[in-house]
């Protein structure tokens, strides 16, 4: 994943979570912090597919895989 793609994922995340504080707190559990929920996950999956071309069936995503910013970046990098 190159710099531009990483920025794109971060932009999507900030949009979904509604705060840019996540950029500096990349290991915070987003679900526990109340920043990410089912609606947010769905928005992310649609964005991944439409903006990054990563198609992931919703049932194939475990919450543990996408619970922090760093994990989401890994998740995306593995599928690009």
Partner 1 sequence: MIDAYGSLYWFYVLTLISVPAVVLGLLEKPLRAYSRIATVVMVVLIVGFSTGQWWWLLGFLAFELTLVKGWLRYRTGHENVNPWVARVAAAGATLPLVVIKVGNLFPTLSVGFLGISYLSFRVIQVVLEITDGLITVLPLADLTFFVLFFPTLASGPIDRLRRFQQDADRTWTRDEYVYLLGRGLTMLLMGGVYKFVLAAWFTTQLDWAVGWPATLAYMYLYTGRLFFDFAGYSAMAVGASYVFGIRTPPNFRLPFAAESIKDFWTRWHISLSFWFRDYLYTRLAMFLMRTKAFKGHRTAAGRVALALNMGLMGAWHGFQLHYLLYGLYHGLLLVGNDVYEKKSRLYSYRHHLAYRLVAIAVTFQLVVFGFLLFSGHILAI
Q: How far is the CB of 2 from partner 1 (least distance, A)?
A: 26
Among residues 24 and 59, whose Cβ is nearest to partner 1?
A: 59
Shortest spacing between CB 31 and partner 1, in angstroms: 9
Residues forming contacts to partner 1 in the complex (CB under 8 A) are 18, 34, 37-39, 41-43, 45-46, 57-60
Distance of closest approach, residue 12 Cβ to partner 1, in angstroms: 11
14 vs 59: CA distance, rounded Å: 24
Helix and strand numbers, DSSP H then E, in the chain: 3, 0
CA distance 19 to 23: 9
Pick between residue 14 and residue 45 the one whose CB is nearest to partner 1: 45
Helix (H, G, I), strand (E, B) or coil at 64: helix
């Amino acid at each position: 994943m190159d710099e531009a793609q990483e920025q794109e994922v971060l932009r999507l995340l900030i949009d979904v979570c509604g705060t840019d504080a996540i950029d500096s707190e990349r290991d915070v559990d987003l679900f526990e912090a109340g920043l990410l929920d089912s609606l947010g996950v769905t928005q992310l999956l649609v964005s991944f597919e439409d903006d990054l071309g990563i198609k992931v069936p919703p049932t194939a995503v475990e919450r543990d895989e996408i619970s922090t910013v760093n994990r989401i970046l890994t998740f995306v990098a593995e599928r690009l």
